Amino acid sequence: MSNQLASNEKGSDESESSKKNMGLRPRNTERSYGWVAILLHWLDVLVIFSLFAVGWYMVELTYYDALYKPLPFIHQSVGILLAGWFVFRVAWRLANPSPEPEPGISAVQNLAAKVAHIGLYLMIAIVLLSGYLIPTAEGVAVSVFDIFSVPATITSLPTQADNAGWVHRYVAYALVGLASLHAAAALKHHFINRDNTLRRMLGRSDTSPDQ
């Protein structure tokens, strides 16, 4: 009897935990993000803010600084890896449904969120492309951690390095500004509206019907 009780309790624990772990499927559903989208999202956050901080710092260094060469090398290597990652991210986004917005969010807010998401994708693409066009302007390939190189392709745009540098700088600022607004909106949903918008990007929306 007590064995049966224990096994019933175990069964119900397992079903609770499997309900919660259903959020850990790889693909998105109409109601929740899969783990691939969640992983891609948080790695993007980490890498983009880190590249921004490193980029901002490295352009102030002088030739005699020990980090004058290593930091741009790391910035460019990680940037190129992010570009490959970004292509996969866009493909994954197109191949998966986007979870429906949480109930109670107005049409205007939903539209604003969609515009912000498209803006983020576009800005990431522009920052990556302009970044690539700076060191390759003179026909030099970009080395990725000395493991492989991405060759220069476009080299003849007018004052290419300067113009690409300008675009890279200001679109990177705009990207980090918009990403910060996007983060602030997610925190507002979590702490003020108290809905599942942020929780489901953390893989835990316990109240969502399919969790």
Q: Which residue has the tokens 């949903």?
A: 189
Site string for ligand HEM, 33-72 (x = CB under 6 A): ---------------x--xx--xx--x------------x
Site string for ligand HEM, 134-163 (x = CB under 6 A): xx------x---------------------
Cβ nearer to ligand HEM, comparing 69 with 114: 69
Q: How far is CA 88 from CA 40, 67, 130, in A?
A: 9, 31, 19
Between residue 105 and residue 134, which ones bind ligand HEM under the rule CB under 6 A? 124, 127-128, 131-132, 134
Least separation in angstroms between CB 76 and ligand HEM: 4
- What lies within 8 Å, CB to CB, of 56 at 6+ separation is none
Which of residues 38, 137, 172, 198 is near ligand HEM by CB under 6 A?
172
Phi, psi of 148 (to 5 degrees): -150, 170
Determine how many CB atoms are found less than 10 A away from the CB of residue 11. 10
Which of residues 92, 165, 174, 186 is near ligand HEM by CB under 6 A?
165
Least separation in angstroms between CB 31 and ligand HEM: 30
Cβ nearer to ligand HEM, comparing 37 with 164: 164
Least separation in angstroms between CB 124 and ligand HEM: 5
Between residue 71 and residue 100, which ones bind ligand HEM under the rule CB under 6 A? 72, 75-76, 79-80, 82-83
Tokens for 89, please give them.
């991210």
Residues of this chain that interact with ligand HEM (CB under 6 A) are 48, 51-52, 55-56, 59, 72, 75-76, 79-80, 82-83, 124, 127-128, 131-132, 134-135, 142, 165, 168-169, 172
